Amino acid sequence: MFKKSMFATISSIVLAGVALAGCGNPSDKPAASTDSATATAGQEQVFRLNMHSEPPTADPTIAEDTVSGAIARATFDGLTRTNEEGKPEPSVAEKIDVSPDQLTYTFHLRESKWSNGDPVTAQDFEYAWKRLLDPKTAAPYAYQAFYIKNAEAYNKGTAKAEDVGVKAIDAKTLEVKLENPTPFFLELTSFYTFYPINQKVLEANPTWAKEAATHVGNGPFKMTAWEHKSKVVLEKNDLYWDKDKVKLDRIEFSMVEDNNTSLSMYENGELDWAGAPLDTLPTDAIPSLKDAGTLVTQPIAGTYFYIFNTEQFPFTNAKIRKAFTYALNRQTIVDNIVQTGQIPALGFIPPSMSVSSKSHFADNDLEKAKQLLKEGMQELNITELPSITLTYNTSEAHKKVAEAAQDQWKQAFGIDVKLVNKEWKVYLEDKSQGNYMIGRMGWLGDFNDPINFLEIFKEKSGGNNDPRWENPQYKELLNQSAIEADPEKRKQILAQAEEILMDEMPIAPIYYYTNAYVKDERVKGVVLDGLGFVDWKWASME
């Protein structure tokens, strides 16, 4: 989600922006009020925070960004759930059996209910996963289920739904057969793409996930209000199977796009948390927050990058793409704009799951960039570049990074790149339809394996392959990695694949993400894992 996010989609973990102006010192924040948000004895525990923009969806099957994913994680529960230590543990599944050959998983479901009182059944999971794979659903993350037997074939129209290796044996038993042993499969089942869907609710109302009044989940919280482009309210779900672990009575989300405003709301005691993962802090405020000792930063497995539309001239040419990539000065962007410990990205896979110790190119290699641009233009038989456009979603951080790139390309090539800003939902739609030349993107890992980054670009028609790039050798290497049992050999195969990706350069890596935020000292138990996911199941206001 950045994607996975607007920030990072997510998986395409696509991350929201940072604003320009400064703000007051966090130490000036007023003492906690004594209203309903104060977690004193006998009063409600209410957690207040900002999400940078409207969630594109509250349907986990089609969610692809950080905000939508966070709402899904709060209002749904999977067969497994990532715990406070970042490990998957049984959740809706009370017991999990795995066959000796690692190809068959049998999930035994506990007694649990949907927020409308219906029982959660194995059929709900079978229905949801086959809906995910149905080509008509056009789910961006359908490919994540391709580890399941015949899942890819069904998604591509060469098999039937009944051929897919997921079957409800009875109401409380789900059998899943895989194509190959998949050591991270239980991590996948904790990801929101694999959450169940209440078939009866969806078939009665196809727009069930667009309003709070009709939204039905099975998670620790239920949606009780959704004032579009204004606020979302989640309340504790008393029908949740593990409700005794849920301490918060309510989570209140505002939707303020301006980061200065949201930080000011925190300073004034109107919010209990400001910044990542659903918002970002104003860049000009970072130094004072550091000085005050209130800034919290956390490296996460995510990459901020630009994508090239490889079907749009002149980025049909790999040397042109590489020229624009090599000309960027990442260290300047990290030091002067984002400022929270990010590392310049000289490859796509983040350091925590790296398959190679080498840098794939040099930062700000202007001599090489100019030579590649010259060669690329000769190959295209042009003497000057057409008008170039860089598109980004609304955020002061994205704007400032884009302005830096614009200036760096001007200095390197003497060209004027046009910047275009779009609202998040519109940006996602245009990007998926190929209505861009260069676009901003981010990716946060959905599970802790490098294949999750590399598989984005396996298929040209893949749900998150917005550059529309495909390479037969790259695809074959990923296929080989799926059946290679030796971890070191598999790592070498994936390293070869990343080398191809960085040689043809459909993307321009910029930096590896960190989460940065400030929070009220009363907030406890929020889980922010190394992949950038947030879970409020165990959160409390003390």
Are residues 317 and 288 both part of a single domain?
A: no
| Lowest mean pLDDT across 73-77, 136-140, 204-208 | 136-140
Query: Residue 148: what are its φ and ψ, rounded to 5°?
Result: -80, 145
Are residues 369 and 316 both part of a single domain?
A: yes
Quick one: average pLDDT of 302-317? Answer: 97
* pLDDT value, residue 399: 94
Among candidates 264, 226, 441, 482, which has minimal Cα distance to 217? Answer: 226
Are residues 351 and 262 both part of a single domain?
A: no
**pLDDT above 70 (res 113):** yes
Both structure tokens of 169: 């044996």
**pLDDT above 80 (res 27):** no
* Spatial distance between the Cα atoms of 342 and 327, rounded to a whole number of angstroms: 19
Q: What is the mean pLDDT of the chain?
A: 90
* pLDDT value, residue 536: 97
* pLDDT value, residue 42: 63
Residue 358, Cβ density class (10 Å: 0-12 exposed, 13-18 middle, ≥19 buried): exposed
* pLDDT value, residue 86: 76
Are residues 312 and 461 both part of a single domain?
A: yes
The answer for 90, left when phi > 0, alpha when psi is -120 to 50, beta otherwise, is: beta
Q: How many CA atoms lie within 13 A of 136 on its CB side?
A: 3
**pLDDT above 70 (res 366):** yes
Are residues 450 and 319 both part of a single domain?
A: yes
**pLDDT above 50 (res 20):** no
* pLDDT value, residue 352: 86
User: Which residues, at least 6 apart from 31, have a Cβ–Cβ distance to it below 8 Å?
Assistant: 269
* Spatial distance between the Cα atoms of 239 and 112, rounded to a whole number of angstroms: 8
**pLDDT above 50 (res 144):** yes
User: Which residues, at least 6 apart from 102, have a Cβ–Cβ distance to it below 8 Å?
Assistant: 178, 181, 182, 183
Domain's final residue, options 204, 236, 269: 204
Q: Over the stretch 387-409, which tens digit does the pLDDT of each residue have?
A: 999 999 988 889 999 999 999 99
* pLDDT value, residue 26: 28
* pLDDT value, residue 533: 84
Distance from the Cα of residue 515 to its chain's centroid: 13
CB 265 within 8 A of CB 254: yes
Are residues 371 and 235 both part of a single domain?
A: no
Q: Is the pTM of this model over 0.85?
A: no
Are residues 189 and 263 both part of a single domain?
A: no
Q: Over the stretch 171-186, which tens digit does the pLDDT of each residue have?
A: 999 999 999 999 899 9
392: in domain: no
**pLDDT above 60 (res 16):** no
- At residue 50, the 3 state secondary structure works out as strand
**Which range marks the domain in which residue 71 is found?**
26-76+219-294+519-524+532-541
* Spatial distance between the Cα atoms of 350 and 102, rounded to a whole number of angstroms: 28
pLDDT-derived band of residue 207, with 50, 70 and 90 as boundaries?
A: very high
CB 324 within 8 A of CB 508: yes
Are residues 320 and 256 both part of a single domain?
A: no
CB 12 within 8 A of CB 442: yes
Q: Over the stretch 251-277, which tens digit does the pLDDT of each residue have?
A: 999 999 899 999 999 999 999 999 999
* Spatial distance between the Cα atoms of 411 and 167, rounded to a whole number of angstroms: 59
Domain tally for the chain?
3
415: in domain: no
Task: Report the CATH number at residue 116.
Answer: 3.90.76.10
Are residues 141 and 88 both part of a single domain?
A: yes
355: in domain: yes
Task: Report the CATH number at residue 503.
Answer: 3.10.105.10
**pLDDT above 80 (res 21):** no
Among candidates 194, 56, 216, 210, which has minimal Cα distance to 131? Answer: 194
**pLDDT above 60 (res 23):** no
Are residues 345 and 432 both part of a single domain?
A: yes
Are residues 94 and 48 both part of a single domain?
A: no
* pLDDT value, residue 328: 98
**pLDDT above 90 (res 428):** no
Quick one: average pLDDT of 365-379? Answer: 97
Quick one: average pLDDT of 301-320? Answer: 96
Quick one: average pLDDT of 195-217? Answer: 97
Quick one: average pLDDT of 288-308? Answer: 93
**pLDDT above 60 (res 1):** no
Are residues 136 and 158 both part of a single domain?
A: yes
Task: Report the CATH number at residue 245.
Answer: 3.40.190.10
